[in-house]
């Protein structure tokens, strides 16, 4: 077993590289989405308080539906991973 996190990171560089290739686009997409919401608020900020409140409410709905999709994808990934491990490709397609 690994004694420290540092020794683990040194030994499994191939895995970390693969994980970074998957995680980096996701991190960039999240950054772009957050920046878009902030840019909306900044642009509308010059119009007035009511307009800023409207953008805030719209961003809350957007965030709510995004979290629903994140939850569904997270739940589906658990089942897909289990089926992939069992080599049960028919249930993955279902």
pLDDT digits (tens, 9 = 90+) for 16-27: 788 889 899 989
pLDDT digits (tens, 9 = 90+) for 55-80: 889 889 988 998 999 999 999 989 99
DSSP string, 11-50: H-HHHHHHHHHHHHHHHHHHHHHHHHHHHHHHHHTTT-HH
- The residue segments making up the domain with residue 70 are 5-93
Number of domains in the chain: 1
Q: Is residue 15 scored above 80 in pLDDT?
A: no
- Mean pLDDT in residue range 28-40: 87
Q: Is 48 left (phi over 0), alpha (psi -120 to 50) or beta?
A: left
């Amino acid at each position: 077993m690994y004694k420290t996190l540092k020794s683990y990171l040194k030994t499994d560089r191939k895995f970390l590289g693969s994980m970074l290739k998957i995680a980096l686009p996701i991190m960039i997409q999240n950054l772009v989405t957050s920046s878009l919401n902030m840019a909306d608020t900044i642009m509308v900020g010059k119009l007035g308080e009511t307009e800023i409140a409207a953008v805030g409410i719209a961003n809350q709905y957007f965030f709510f539906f995004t979290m629903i999709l994140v939850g569904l994808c997270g739940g589906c990934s658990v089942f897909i991973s289990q089926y992939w491990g069992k080599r049960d490709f028919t249930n993955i397609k279902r």
